[in-house]
Amino acid sequence: MQKMDILKLGKSYNMVNSYLQNRQQPRLEVLMRIAKIFDIDVKELIVSNKEKKK
């Protein structure tokens, strides 16, 4: 994530870094802003914690 992206997100560098290092999970509202910044679907930012059925 670039500095400009962090500024657009409205979060501190430390908070964004904690998201990137998986120490904290962003709220849904923050995920929506991240998706908008990168012009992607918010579903691409969410990883399922369920095991895939074979």
Query: How do residues 34-50 score in pLDDT, each as one tens digit?
Result: 999 889 999 998 887 77
Between CA 28 and CA 46 the distance in angstroms is 10
What does the DSSP 8-state code read for residue 43? G
Considering the entire predicted model, what is its pTM?
A: 0.72
Between CA 15 and CA 24 the distance in angstroms is 8
Structural contact between residues 17 and 26, judged by C-beta atoms closer than 8 angstroms: no
What per-residue confidence (pLDDT) applies to 30? 92
What per-residue confidence (pLDDT) applies to 43? 92
pLDDT in tens, 7-25: 788 888 899 889 889 899 9
Residue 18's closest CA among 8, 30, 32?
Answer: 30
Tally Cβ neighbours within 10 Å of residue 30.
17
- Spell out the domain ranges in the chain: 3-45
